[in-house]
Amino acid sequence: MGRRIKKIKKIRLHHEGNHTLLLAFVLFALLFAACRVWLYPVSVAAFYVVVAVAAVVMGVLINFFRCPIRTFEGEPEGIVVAPADGRVVVIEEVEENEYFHDRRLMVSIFMSLTNVHANWFPVEGIVKKVEHQDGNFHKAWLPKASIENERSTVVIETPDGQEVLVRQVAGAMARRIVTYAEEGDHCFIDEHMGFIKFGSRVDTFLPLGTELCVNFGDKTTGNETVLARLKA
């Protein structure tokens, strides 16, 4: 299957943050105006402290919704790229009972508040299944988060017939999982699979025998770090 050629646009902020950032900017402007009128005449130091704190919060939000443009270097056949920025917190064989109902190799990446929260497709192929499930909001790095938290599951069949499952998992702070994948779509490395607002994780379930290219604790860069190589 050939790769789709598309024009890359330079995007600095993810569109999922448009409403949040606009609201934050309006609130920041109103706070600044109010403090300038009522707080500044009373205490200049307090005025600057409040403005500085508000500016830091605004900066954190802007940093959270940044959206770097990345293009995978190399041939994608048989390659599994990291679907997210973050750190590898789980590498183990597990019983996957929601779709495969057999043992799979699970690699989990935890995204902190400071990471990019866009998610990429880890492999190229056809989207076979997309399912969203409501759940709890345990801390994302806990093992039970993968099966008890709110989550969205995407199953991709590669051109050679292998299936890879990617699960977006909400964390203690995450309250919205966005998944762009739709069943029947052709998906490609370099494309966004979705977005998770605030701390969360992404689990990738691979066939047994897959060659891993990362270790526990490694940092990953979405769409750049090679997570694994599928067995031919």
Catalytic amino acids?
Answer: 200
**Residue 34 neighbours by CB under 8 Å, 6+ apart:** none
**Separation CA 135–CA 148 (nearest Å):** 6
Tokens of 196: 């998770």
Phi/psi for 98 (5° steps) reads -95, -25
How far is it, in rounded angstroms, from Cα 56 to Cα 59? 5
SS3 156: strand
Which residue reads 């443009």 in tokens? 69
- 227 close to 204: Cβ distance less than 8 angstroms: yes
Contact 124, 188 (CB under 8 A): yes
Residue 86: its H or E element: strand 86-96
Q: Which of 124, 128, 144, 127 is nearest to 83 (CA)?
A: 124
Q: What are phi and psi of 63, to 5 degrees?
A: -60, -40
Quick one: the chain helix, strand, coil %, rounded to 5? Answer: 20, 35, 45
